[in-house]
Homo-oligomer: A and B are copies of this chain.
């Protein structure tokens, strides 16, 4: 498995072609996924290893992606901390947002195996089902992103509650981030112990702050997670690659590589060649087609794939979208992207 295309690219080793997977590849754009969801709620999918396994494998079977990613949700760890999450179709909602010192103090740092046994069961099941075909990526939400959900109670336009906490009560913010970082690190460690071949830390809302605040909050606690994970016995046994993805990374390129991750995720709003120039050669890069570009005709998708491949170069690049695939996407356009990457990146 360590020789697989995707894992070699994560380690910046030479590869015969650029590997590709897609954020949210097991998701609503796929008819086979919608068929499963017609029988079970989102949360049932996450909590039922058989179903999580089934939808995780769908895009591998359908398009031949070079990595599978565990079907789950970054918020799945919150209830065991004491934060109640609901998953209506309109998006996740937290019924008891955390906005006071007392509420932060009351939160637990759960044992991930006891709290989310179904996640570890799903990983073992998926690994067995994949049978070495492609690596399996585990994942978690990065501390700052988890904080925004915990504090806002859901999505937000301006992150006013988050910023009230970060700037108005920084001691409380750090206390909450530390608890989230410890939860995140042990959760990822358990995923690695269960068999994940790689883990990705999603900082979907890491891009809402100034460069100084990026160092003080999202980056600092992503580093903390990565350090704790690398120090764990489970990680040391396998040394799996760690991906850190900040959505909206362009303002932070001078600091981004200091996260300690092996691979940096790159959203679609910035040129991946500029990212490479600014972060240097010590990390692999993953990205960065605009998910909306999959609305273009296949010929245009191919042109855009070629442009990204040319900018990214042949070493240390994993092709991906710059964010999750949009539910309205035509699966045939996904296939056009995958084929373009396979054909155009082949180093003959």
| Chain A residues in the interface with B (C-beta under 8 A) | 155, 157-160, 162-164, 166-168, 207-213, 248, 250-251, 268-271, 274, 290-293, 295-297, 300, 307, 322-323, 326, 328
Query: A250-B250, A292-B159 known; A164 and B269 CB under 8 Å?
Result: no
Closest Cβ of chain B: how far from A283's Cβ, in Å?
19
Assess the A158–B291 pair: CB atoms within 8 A.
yes
Question: Contact: A160 with B328, CB < 8 Å?
Answer: yes
Contact B295 A167 (CB under 8 A): yes
B251–A300 CB distance below 8 A: no
In the complex, which residues of chain B have a beta carbon less than 8 angstroms from the beta carbon of A291? 158, 163
Chain B residues near A296 (CB-CB < 8 A): 167-168
A160–B326 CB distance below 8 A: yes
Minimum CB–CB distance from A76 to chain B (whole Å) comes to 21
Q: Is the CB of B155 within 8 A of A157?
A: yes
In the complex the two chains form, is B163's CB within 8 Å of A290's CB? yes
Residues on B with C-beta less than 8 A from A162 are 292
Q: Shortest beta-carbon distance, A181 to chain B, in Å?
A: 22
Asked, given contacts A155-B157, A250-B251, whether A300 binds B167 with beta carbons under 8 Å apart, the answer is yes
- Neighbour of A295 across the interface among B164, B208, B211, CB < 8 A: B164
Candidates B166, B292, B328; contact of A292 at CB < 8 Å: B166
Q: How far is the CA of A83 from the CA of B295 in the complex (A)?
A: 25
How far does the Cβ of A160 sit from chain B's closest Cβ, in whole Å? 5
Contact residues in B for A166 (Cβ distance below 8 Å): 292
Residues of B within 8 A of A323 (CB): 158
Q: How far is the CA of A164 from the CA of B300 in the complex (A)?
A: 13
Contact A163 B295 (CB under 8 A): yes
Complexed CA–CA distance, A110 and B159 (Å): 37
B290→A209 contact, CB < 8 A: yes
CA distance in complex: A307, B159 (Å): 23
CB-CB under 8 A for A164 and B290, given A209-B269, A211-B271: no
In the complex, the answer to whether B290 meets A270 with C-beta atoms within 8 Å is: no
Min Cβ gap A190→B in Å is: 31
Q: Tell me which residues across on chain B come within 8 A of A208, comparing CB atoms.
A: 269
The residues of B that contact A251 with a CB separation of less than 8 Å are 250, 269-271, 274
Q: Which residues of B contact A164 (CB under 8 A)?
A: 292, 295, 328
Which residue of B has the minimal Cβ distance to A322? B210
Bound-complex Cα distance A158 to B328 (A)? 11
CB-CB < 8 A to A322: which residues of B?
210
Complex: how many Å from CA A33 to CA B172? 33
Within the complex, the shortest CB–CB distance from A207 to chain B, in Å, comes to: 7
Minimum CB–CB distance for A293 against chain B, Å: 6
How many angstroms between the C-alpha atoms of A173 and B56 in the bound complex? 36
CB-defined contacts of A168 to chain B, threshold 8 Å: 295-297
Contacts of A212 in B (CB 8 A): 307
Partner of A163, one of B211, B274, B292, B297: B292
CB distance from A61 to the nearest CB of B (A): 26
Q: How far is it, in angstroms, between the C-alpha of A270 and the C-alpha of B163 when the chains are bound?
A: 17
